[in-house]
Amino acid sequence: MSILDSSLDQTQVRQLLRRLGIEERNSGVYHDDWASPGGEEIDVLSPADGRRLASVTLGLEEDYDDAAYTARHAWPKWRDTPAPRRGEIVREIGNELRSAKDDLGMLVSLEAGKILAEGRGEVQEMNDIADFAVGLSRQLYGLTMHSERPAHRMYEQWHPLGLIGCITAFNFPVAVWSWNALIAAVCGDCVIWKPSEKTPLTSIAVHNIVRRVMERHGFAGVFTLVNGRGDVIGERMIADRRVPLVSATGSCHMGRRVAEVVGERLGRTLLELGGNNGLIVMPDANPQLVMRAVLFGAVGTAGQRCTTLRRLFIHRDCADEYVEYLKKMWTKIRVGHPLDPKTLCGPLIDQSAINQMEQGLADAREQGGELFFGGERVELDYEGKPLLGGLYCRPALVLANSSMAITKVEVFAPILYVMFFDDLDDAIRQQNDVPQGLSSAIFTDNLRNAERFLGHAGSDCGIANVNIGTSGAEIGGAFGGEKDTGGGRESGSDAWKAYMRRQTVTINWSEELPLAQGIEFDL
């Protein structure tokens, strides 16, 4: 039986879910064990075909408080465990996730609508970040500084913050949790996870995997989970003074609310918000590289990535050539069930996403854009039978210009705006002229063009690539963006510092008490 066959067979789906510890009805709250939450029970429907996968009972404020209480009491023991030992436990988590890669990747595809290659790729990201975190557990370095005072030593050291709140989005339902949770764990923190209401089953599956490891070592409560509504659990978390850092991934609108409430209590935020990513094509670019990067960047995850390519800037000297390339390539995109290996573009997450795409295209036409391919709903069938309940749209190409208001808005759908420019400075100006600042790219074989794009007057984004597309971040490089994207950095470089507090230490080993700056203060 093929993967596609099994995806459409309820018995096979049920077996998959049970291997991941998911039953017909599930608790959405875990602290030191699975709880009996007091919220509503919701059915989880696959965006691929509308079928019910399982039900989840959501948590209320009191369920969140129970999870926070458990995490707070688990923290001292975890904090006092040596960091390399914490790293060894995270290594075991990575191994368990690696063993479950195929099943968990398929669940990501069924619940979030990602094609299977992307579902498995997301689980691979979890494996990679676990490996990264293990190495990091022996590299939580501070600095030693020279004191201006004799017989004094100065250095900095880093301490765990305590409880980390982690709010994740549907489009990366497990990977972004791992970016935060596994690094925070080796830093000595406990993590409370509030997933998207649209993808609760993947969070339950991950916690079934992680809890086996943590309970084996006597650390139940280090990772807790509260599925619930944003206006209930999310609001409770961001207002909670027990949580010094809230890491939130989602829309700019959501991020502003998080920043406002957490900032009012002088807490910290780590924000990964909207992107409106641009790619510049110079006349000397390699067309083969350009088109492969544009295809994955614009169509991957059905345009529902924060790093999705949304604006393509083509030099006028090669504009006609690339427009023809785009037309030919877009006609070949296979829209279909995410578990079909031939599919390149799966479903959007829900009807509101369909509505957003349709409204975005209507706005583009009203503002002078020309829709020259795609944008329509796609009705699928399987073995001659309608595939009911699927949320499929054909990826759209729109001829546009950067003065159109819609091009400055992140429409979370597979819409690619194609625009033209006369010189590189003009292209960079257009690319930067949006509120968001996440990812950017240029394709050129000219060293001067590349360095101009990467220089101080070049891209203003947190990610700037040369001859690589905007989408597909690699573990090890700090991920995040500027402006309305929120300024957060995760999953690489020195991003671990976000989950710790810095302490400067001065030790006087003399029998005198000299003051800094030569101040004398004697009676």
Q: Which residues are catalytic?
A: 272, 306
- What is the identity of the amino acid at 226? V
Q: Distance between CA 18 and CA 272 in Å, rounded?
A: 33
276 closest CA partner among 97, 506, 430, 447: 430
407 closest CA partner among 285, 277, 305: 277
Q: Distance between CA 231 and CA 493 in Å, rounded?
A: 33
271 three-class SS: strand
- What is the identity of the amino acid at 41? E
Contact 268, 245 (CB under 8 A): yes
CB-hemisphere CA count at 13 Å for 148? 6
Q: Distance between CA 443 and CA 426 in Å, rounded?
A: 15
Residue with tokens 């904090």: 79
Q: Distance between CA 167 and CA 69 in Å, rounded?
A: 18
The residues near 485 (Cβ < 8 Å, ≥ 6 apart) are 252, 271, 272, 273, 274, 275, 306, 436, 437, 438, 461, 462
27 three-class SS: strand
**What six digits make up the tokens of 354?**
């369909």
**What six digits make up the tokens of 141?**
């370095």
For the chain, what is the largest distance between any 2 Cα atoms, rounded to a whole number of angstroms? 96
380 three-class SS: coil
Q: Distance between CA 126 and CA 107 in Å, rounded?
A: 15
C-alpha angle 280-301-271 in degrees, rounded to nearest 5: 75
379 three-class SS: coil
